[in-house]
Amino acid sequence: MQSNIGSKDSAGSFLKRDREVVTPLGDGGHNTYVKVSAPGTVANLVCGFDILGLCLNEPHDIMEVQLLDEKKIIIHSADGYPLPLDPAQNTAGAPLIEMINELGGNIGFEVTIHKKIKPGSGIGSSAASAAGAVVAANYLLGNVFSKTDLVRFAMFGEKVASGVKHADNIAPCIYGGITLIRSIHPLDIVVIPVPELYVTVVHPQIEVRTKDARQILRKEVLLKDAIKQWGNIAGLVAGFMKNDLDLVGRSLEDVIIEPVRSILIPGFDEVKRRCKEAGALGGGISGSGPSLFMLSKKEATAIQVENVMKEIYERIGLAYHSYVTTINMEGVKVLTD
Ligand code: HSE
C-alpha cells in the first residue's frame, strides 16, 4: 500500500515526508520491542470540560509493544482485566490501526497492557492505553510522527471508549504537564507552564463509564453560566502561567458539568468542602469521575487532604484508592530499548 506519511529509504529506515524534519528510525531500525509507562491524567481541571488536562506521576500503566512485519494488531491484557481484545474495539488497538493505515506497508504491533489505572476510574485509563500504544509504536518506527500526529491517532481510542473524540486526557498524557486543547478540528494544543503543585486523588471503587457520564449532560447552557465558566477557564490558565496559586484556587469552579455529574459520586460535597478546609487550593471531579482530585501548594497539605478523603470513604464504607502525587512533566516514557 502507498504510504502518505512515511516511506522507506534504501536502507530500510522510515523517513518523514512533507515535514520539516527528516528523522531516521531510532537506532537505524534495530529496535523491535519497547516498554513504556503510560501515566494517568486528570481531564477537565474542573472548569475546562474537554479542553484542559494534567498529567500525573502516579498511577501509570506499563505497556510492552513488539513491532511485527505483517499488517496485524494483537492485544494482550496481562493482568486479567477484561479489556476488549478485538483491536478495533480496544483503546490501544484502534489508534494503531489508524497509524498503520496511514503509513501503509507490512507492519503491525503486538501490545501487552499491564493495566494499573482502572477502566472507568476517571483518571484517564483509556487515554493511557491509547497514548502509550502510539508513543511506543512511533518509537519503534523511528519517531516519524509528531506529538500532534500521535494525539490525532490516540483520539481514535477515546472514540472507542466514550463514543466521542476528545484530547483532554490524551494530550497531557503525550506532552506531559498541563495542556490546553484549543481545538480538535484542527488540532491546536497549547502546553501551559506548570507551577509546583501537589495533587491528591481519591478513587472510590465504583465505575462511571465516560459514555454514560456524557449522556446525562445538558446540551444547552445559560449565557450567564457560560460567562462564569469562561471567566474561570481564563483565570485558571492565567493563574498557572503567572504562578498565582490563589487565582488557580478561585478558578477551580464548574457551574455547568459538576452540578450534574456530582450526583453520581458518593460523598462528593463533603470531600470538596472538607479538603478545602484542610488547605487544598481546590479541585473537583477528575475527568468524568468517580475519582476526585485536589491541588495543594505543599506536600504536607496534600497528605492532610488525603487523610480527609480516607476518613470520609471509610465512614461511608466505600472502598477507595488514593494517591498523593505531583505533575508528570514527561508524559508517556520509554523504559527500555
Ligand atoms: N472531558 C471528558 C469528560 C474526559 O469529562 O467526559 C473524560 O475522561
Q: Which residues are known to be catalytic? A: 158, 210
Closest Cα to atom 1, ligand 1: which residue? 50
Residues in the chain: 337
Q: Which domain holds residue 107?
A: 5-191+329-335
For residues 66 and 155, state if they share a domain. Answer: yes
Q: How far, in Å, from the CA of 68 to the mean position of ligand 1?
A: 33
Instruction: List the grid coordinates of 331.
Output: 508524559
Select from 173, 163, 160 the least CA-distant residue to 131. Answer: 173
pLDDT reported for residue 81:
82
Output the residue whose Cα is nearest ligand 1's atom 4. Answer: 287
Q: Is the pLDDT of residue 4 over 50?
A: no
User: Please, what sign has the CA dihedral across residues 287, 288, 290, 296?
Assistant: positive
Q: Is 60 exceeded by the pLDDT of residue 26? A: no
143 shares a domain with 83: yes
Model confidence pTM above 0.85:
yes
* Cα(335)–Cα(333) distance, integer angstroms: 6
Query: In which element (H, E) is residue 212 found?
Result: helix 210-215
> What is the per-residue pLDDT across 44-62, written as a single tens digit (0 to 9) for each?
999 999 999 999 999 999 9
Burial of 239 (0-12, 13-18, 19+ CB in 10 A): buried
Query: Which DSSP helix (H) or strand (E) runs through 68?
Result: strand 52-68
Supply the pLDDT for residue 29: 53
Domain count, the chain: 2
* Three cell numbers written together for 85: 481484545
Is 293 close to ligand 1, i.e. is its CB under 6 Å away?
no
Å from CA of 287 to ligand 1 middle: 4
Are residues 327 and 54 in contact, defined by beta-carbon separation less than 8 angstroms?
yes
Separation of CA 175 and ligand 1 centre (Å): 18
3-state class (DSSP) for residue 5? coil
Q: Which three cell numbers stand for residue 95?
A: 489508534
Evaluate: CB of 121 within 6 angstroms of ligand 1. no
Centroid of ligand 1 to alpha carbon of 161 (angstroms): 11
Q: Angle 125-140/93-103 helices, nearest 10 degrees?
A: 30
- Write out pLDDT tens, residues 155-168: 999 999 988 899 99
Q: Mean pLDDT throughout 98-108?
A: 94
Element housing 138 (H / E) = helix 125-140
Atom of ligand 1 nearest to the CA of 214: 6
| 200 — pLDDT class (breaks 50, 70, 90) | very high
Verify that 173 and 202 share a domain, yes or no.
Answer: no
Residue 194's closest CA among 236, 241, 156? 241
Q: Is the backbone peptide bond immediately before 186 cis, with ω within 30 degrees of 0?
A: yes
Helix, coil or strand: residue 169? coil
Ligand 1 lined by 166 (C-beta under 6 Å): yes
Mean pLDDT across the stretch 177-187?
97
Q: Judge if the beta carbon of residue 169 lies within 6 A of ligand 1.
A: yes
Give the closest residue (by CA) to ligand 1 atom 3. Answer: 288
CA distances 128 to 40, 178, 228, Å, are 6, 15, 31
The percent of residues in the chain predicted with pLDDT above 90, rounded, is 85
pLDDT at 278 over 50: yes
For 9-32, what is the mean pLDDT? 42
Per-residue model confidence as pLDDT tens digits over 230-271: 999 999 999 999 999 999 999 999 999 999 999 999 999 999
Which protein residue has the closest C-alpha to ligand 1 atom 6? 288
Query: Are 43 and 186 contained in the same domain?
Result: yes
Q: Rounded to the nearest whole angstrom, what is the distance from the C-alpha of residue 154 to the centroid of ligand 1?
A: 15
Do residue 66 and residue 107 come from a single domain? Answer: yes
Give the list of residues 6+ apart from residue 331 with CB closer than 8 angstroms, or none: 39, 55, 131, 135, 172, 173, 174, 175, 176, 177
Atom of ligand 1 nearest to the CA of 126: 8
C-alpha pair distances (Å), 8 with each of 4, 16, 141: 12, 9, 11
Pocket perturbation via mutation, ligand 1, pick of 41, 158, 166 by most ligand atoms within 8 A of CB = 166
**What is the CB neighbour count within 10 angstroms for residue 35?**
17
Q: How far apart are CA 178 and CA 155, in angstroms?
A: 18
User: Which residues 6+ apart lie within 8 Å of 212 measured at CB?
Assistant: none
Let me know whether 309 and 265 are in one domain: yes
Same domain, 159 and 237: no
pLDDT confidence of residue 19:
34
User: How remote is the CA of residue 285 from the centroid of ligand 1, in Å?
Assistant: 10
pLDDT at 108 over 50: yes
Q: What is the pLDDT of residues 118-157, one digit of tens each?
A: 998 999 999 999 999 999 999 999 999 999 999 999 999 9
261 lines ligand 1 (CB under 6 A): no
12 and 151 part of one domain: yes
The pLDDT confidence band at residue 336, using thresholds 50, 70 and 90, is: low
Query: Ligand 1 pocket, 44 CB below 6 A?
Result: yes
C-alpha span between 319 and 302 (Å, rounded): 20
Q: How many CB atoms lie within 10 A of CB 327?
A: 20
Question: Quick one: 136 and 182 in the same domain?
Answer: yes
Q: Are residues 94 and 35 in the same domain?
A: yes
Q: Are residues 269 and 312 in the same domain?
A: yes
250's enclosing H/E stretch is helix 245-251
The CA 212 to ligand 1 mean position distance, Å, reads: 11
Ligand 1 within 6 A of CB of 168: yes
The answer to whether residues 273 and 125 belong to one domain is: no
Q: What's the chain's average pLDDT?
A: 90
Give the pLDDT mean for 85-94: 96
The ligand 1 atom at the shortest distance from the C-alpha of residue 287 is 8
Cβ of 153: how many Cβ atoms within 10 Å? 25
CATH of the domain at 229: 3.30.70.890
End-to-end CA distance of the chain: 29
Band of the pLDDT at 3, cuts 50, 70, 90? very low
CATH of the domain at 158: 3.30.230.10
